[in-house]
Structure 1
Amino acid sequence: MNDRDRFSPNDDWDFEIRTVLGGAVEGASEPGEVLAATAGIRKGDHEAWYVAWASLGDRVSEIADQAAAGGHRVSAAEAYLRASHYYAVAVNAVSSLPDSDRLAPTFGRQRRAWESFVDNTPVQVERVGIPYENASLPGFLFRPGAAGGATVVAVNGSDGSLASLWASCVSPALRRGYTVLVFDGPGQQTQLFDRGVPFRPDWENVLTPVYDFVAAQPGVDPARIGLYGISQGGYWVARALAFEHRFAAAVTDPGVVDVSTSWTSHLPSSLLKLLDRGENEKFDKEMALGLKLSPDTARTWQFRARPYGTAPGAYAETIEAVRRYALGDLAARITTPLLITDPEGEQFWPGQSERLAALTESVSTLVHFTAAEGASGHCQPLARTLTAQRMFDWMDERMRVGQN
C-alpha cells in the first residue's frame, strides 16, 4: 500500500478507519465526519486518537438525542448507530492507554448509543437473554419485514461492537429476508466490561445453547439456521462446528485455524524458544524489557491481552492461553457446508483461510477477494457490499432463501 493510499501513518489506526468507513454502506458511519475527526492525528499520539473518536461519538450522540426529542425516530436511530460505532473505536483506544479509568464510562456511552438505536430503529427487534451455564448472554433478535424462517446467528470478533456487526452482517441479512440473532459471548463487550467474563476457546459450549435458544423462537425453522463469524469469530465458528452439526451452513470471514500466530509471528525466535522450554520467568523478564523499549507494542499487548483474563505482566501465561485457540485435528470433524473468505493482503492470519479450506475440503468453499476489486485486507473493510453479496448468495442457495 502506498503512503498516499493511507488514512493514517499508524497501521492499526489506518485499518480501524477503513473498517469504520466500510460500515457506511449500512449507515454505521458517515465518511466525511470520520475523515474530519481523524485528520492530522500524529502517529504516536494515542491520547489524541482516543479523544477524536470519543468526541465524535459525543457529537453524533447529541444529534441523536435532539432528533429523538423532536420525534424524528429515523434520524435518531441513524445517529445513534453511528455514535455507537464511533464510541466502539474509542473503547478500543482507551483500552490501550495506561489509565483505564475512562474505559467503563466510554463503554457505557457506547452501549447507551446502541440501546438507543434499538429503541428507535424501525426494524423489528427483541432484546433476549440466551440461557448459558448459570447465567445468560444478552442478545438482540432482529426480524425482517416478511420472515421466511431462515435465520443467521452472527458471531463477533475479539473486539468488535454490535454496531459494526450490524454493518457487516445484520443489515444485509435482513434485506434478504433472514432473521438475525446477535449476542455478546464470553470476553466480548458486556461480558468483558460489565461482568469480567474472559474469552474461552471451546465455543461449542457457547454456540450449542445459542442454537437451542434460537431454534425455539417463533417463526424460526430449526433446519435453516446459518452461522456467520467475523475476524476472530472465524475461529470460534469453526471450532464450534467441529462439535455442533445442526447449523445448515456457515461463513468464516476469514478462516482462522490458529489464533496465536497473530501474536507469535511478531516475537523473536529466541523468545519463543524460552517459552517452549518452559522458561516462563525468563520469558516474562525479556518481554517486559522489550515492551519497555517499544511503548506502541506494549499498548497493543495490553489491549489484546485483556479479554484472555491473564494477569498484567504474565506474558508467558498469556501466550500459553492464546495457544489454546487452535483447531488442529478438530477441523476434520466439520460436516457443515462452509464458506471461507480469503482476502488478498490478510494481515493478521495470512494463509489461514487456505489452510482451513484444505482441512475441510469436502465441505468448504474458498472465496478470494483481491486488491483489484478494492477488497483487500482483513475482513475486506472497504468491500462489505461485495462481501455480503458473495456470502449471502452462497448461503441463500443452501438455505432455500428467495427460492420458490
Structure 2
Amino acid sequence: MKPLMFPENPQFWYETLRSMSHIAYGGADFGEVVSTAGRIEEGDYDSWHEEWMATADRVAAEAQRALDAGHTISARDGFLRASNYYRSAEFFQHGRPCDPRHDHAYDRSVSCFRAAAALHTTPRIEPVRIPYEDTTLPGYLYRADDTGAPRPTLIMHSGFDGTAEELHFSGALAAVERGYTVLTFDGPGQPGPRHHQGLVFRPDWENVITPVVDFAETLPEVDVSRIALLGSSMGGVLAPRAAAFEHRLAALIAVDGVYDLGQVSTRHIPGDREEAERLLRADSAPELDARFEQITTQDATARWAINHGMYVMGVETPRAFSASYLDYTLAGGVAERIQCPTLVCDAEEDEFFKGQPEQLYERLTCPKTLMLFTAEEGAGAHCHPGAMRLALARIYDWLDTTLAPTA
C-alpha cells in the first residue's frame, strides 16, 4: 500500500496504518489517528511520543468523565481507544538506554485497557496471571458467555513489539464473537514481563507455551481437545517452535509465518551464512559494528528494530542483538516436528519477512494451508493492518473448519 502519510519514513507510516487497523474492533477512530499523525514531525521520536500522549490523555480524560456520569458504554469505548494510543506513544521509546517515559505510557495503556475490560459484559474479560517458572505471565481470559461450558479455545500471543492488550483489536474480540474461549498473554521479552519483571525473549518458546496450556486446561470454559495457538509477527516463528514440541495443540496459526530470523540478521553482511554468523558471534568485529552504526543512521526501520531489539533481548550492542536472532529458527528439523494442522499466513508486500512464510510452509509435514493476503485487498502489509475484518474472517473460518467436531 502506498504511504498516505510519512512518505520518507516507512516505519512511521506502518505504525500509523497499524493504529488505523484497530478501528475495526474499537481500538481507534480515524479522525483521531489522522489528526495525531498530522501533528507529528516525520522521523522525530519525541514528536511521535508527545502527540500520541496528548491524544491518549485527552481520550482517557473524556472516558473518565463518561464513567463518572454513569455512561459506561461511552467510557468503555474511550478507555479502549486511549489504551491503544498510549501503546503507540510508548512504541519508539526503547533505545540505549530506554527513554524513562516509556514505563509511564505503557502502564497507562494497561490501566486504560483494564478499565475498559471491567466494563465489558459480553464478552467478559478477566485479567489473569499465568504461572511460569518462579513468577507469572500477564494475560486476559475472554469468556463467550456465563455458562462455563467448555468451548474450542484460542491461545494468542504477539511477537517482537505487540502487547496482550493490542491483541483485543487484532484477533481476540473477533474470536470470542465466534464462540471461542480466548486466552491472550505476554511472554518473556514481551511488554508486561519485560517492563516489570526484566524477562527477555527466549528461543525455546515451548517452555513458555507449555505452562500456558497447563493453565488453560484448568479452566472449565476450555475444551482441552480443541486448543489452538496463534502467534503474530515474530510470534510466527515462536508459536511454530512451541508447537513442534507441545503436542496438545489441536491447531496452529502463524500470522505471518517466519522460518528463520537469522536470515534477517545476516542478509546485509558480506560473505556466506557461516561467515556472517562467525562475525556476529565474535568477541570483536569492529568493521561490522561500524556497519551497524551506519545502518541505524540511514534506515529508519532498522534504527527502530535494533534499538527495540537490544531492549527485548537484553543485550547491549546492535551486533549482539543481531546475533541473538540466529537462535530463533525452525531449521534443523524443527518445523518438521509440528503435528497439528497449521495455517501459515503470508503478506504480499511484507517489509520484514518476505519469502519466509513459503519457507515454513514447504518444510511442514503436518496438514497445512498457506493463505496469501494481497495489496489489492488492502491486506498486503505485514500482519495485514488495514484489512483486519477480511484477514480475521479468513483465518477464523479456517480455524472453525479445522476444529469442527467430527461426526
Structure 2 length-normalised TM: 0.91
Partner Cα distance (2:106, 2:114) in 1: 12
Pairing 1:6-25 to 2, within 5 Å after superposition = 6=5, 8-25=7-24
How far is 1:291 from its partner? 5.5
Superimposed CA distance per residue, residues 207-241 of structure 1 (whole angstroms, 9 cap, x where no aligned partner): 11111110120121100111111111111110001
Residue 124 of structure 1 aligns to which amino acid in structure 2?
R
Determine the structure 2 residue equivalent to 1:201: 203
Q: 1:274 to 1:255 in 2, by over 3 A?
A: closer
Task: Select the residue among 359, 366, 370 that pairs with 1:366.
Answer: 370
Mean alpha-carbon deviation: is it higher for 289-298 or for 251-260? 289-298
SS at match of 1:89: helix
How far is 1:9 from its partner? 3.2
How far is 1:169 from its partner? 1.0
Pairing 1:278-289 to 2, within 5 Å after superposition = 279-283=282-286, 285-287=289-291, 289=293
How far is 1:100 from its partner? 1.3
Q: What is the aligned residue count? A: 399
Determine the structure 2 residue equivalent to 1:388: 392
How far is 1:74 from its partner? 1.4
- 1:308 and 2:313 equivalent? yes
Pairing 1:120-159 to 2, within 5 Å after superposition = 120-122=119-121, 123-145=123-145, 149-159=151-161
How far is 1:46 from its partner? 2.1
How far is 1:304 from its partner? 2.4
SS at match of 1:228: strand
Superimposed CA distance per residue, residues 178-209 of structure 1 (whole angstroms, 9 cap, x where no aligned partner): 01001111011110011111011111001111
Determine the structure 1 residue equivalent to 2:334: 330
Gaps of 5+ in 2: none
Partner Cα distance (1:156, 1:376) in 2: 19
How far is 1:294 from its partner? 4.3
**C-alpha contact (below 8 Å) 1:234/1:256 kept by paired residues:** yes
How far is 1:353 from its partner? 0.7
How far is 1:298 from its partner? 4.1
**C-alpha contact (below 8 Å) 2:345/2:372 kept by paired residues:** yes
Partner Cα distance (1:94, 1:320) in 2: 22
- 1:339 and 2:343 equivalent? yes
**C-alpha contact (below 8 Å) 1:28/1:163 kept by paired residues:** no
Partner Cα distance (2:222, 2:293) in 1: 54
Residue 93 of structure 2 aligns to which amino acid in structure 1?
V
**C-alpha contact (below 8 Å) 2:336/2:365 kept by paired residues:** no
**C-alpha contact (below 8 Å) 2:306/2:321 kept by paired residues:** no
How far is 1:361 from its partner? 4.5
Superimposed CA distance per residue, residues 85-125 of structure 1 (whole angstroms, 9 cap, x where no aligned partner): 11111111222486612111121211211221222222312
Partner Cα distance (2:55, 2:229) in 1: 33
Q: 1:39 to 1:205 in 2, by over 3 A?
A: same
Determine the structure 2 residue equivalent to 1:114: 113
Q: 1:319 to 1:271 in 2, by over 3 A?
A: farther
Gaps of 5+ in 1: none
**C-alpha contact (below 8 Å) 1:157/1:229 kept by paired residues:** yes
Partner Cα distance (1:197, 1:114) in 2: 22
Task: Select the residue among 165, 182, 185 that pairs with 2:184.
Answer: 182
Q: 1:299 to 1:396 in 2, by over 3 A?
A: closer
Residue 282 of structure 1 aligns to which amino acid in structure 2?
A
SS at match of 1:139: strand
Determine the structure 2 residue equivalent to 1:255: 257
Partner Cα distance (2:177, 2:236) in 1: 23
Residue 316 of structure 1 aligns to which amino acid in structure 2?
R
Partner Cα distance (1:45, 1:336) in 2: 45
**C-alpha contact (below 8 Å) 1:148/1:177 kept by paired residues:** no
Superimposed CA distance per residue, residues 215-274 of structure 1 (whole angstroms, 9 cap, x where no aligned partner): 120121100111111111111110001101111111110101112333433x34269846
SS at match of 1:255: coil
Q: 1:244 to 1:2 in 2, by over 3 A?
A: closer
Q: 1:340 to 1:70 in 2, by over 3 A?
A: same
SS at match of 1:130: strand
Determine the structure 1 residue equivalent to 2:77: 78
**C-alpha contact (below 8 Å) 2:59/2:82 kept by paired residues:** yes
Partner Cα distance (2:168, 2:241) in 1: 23
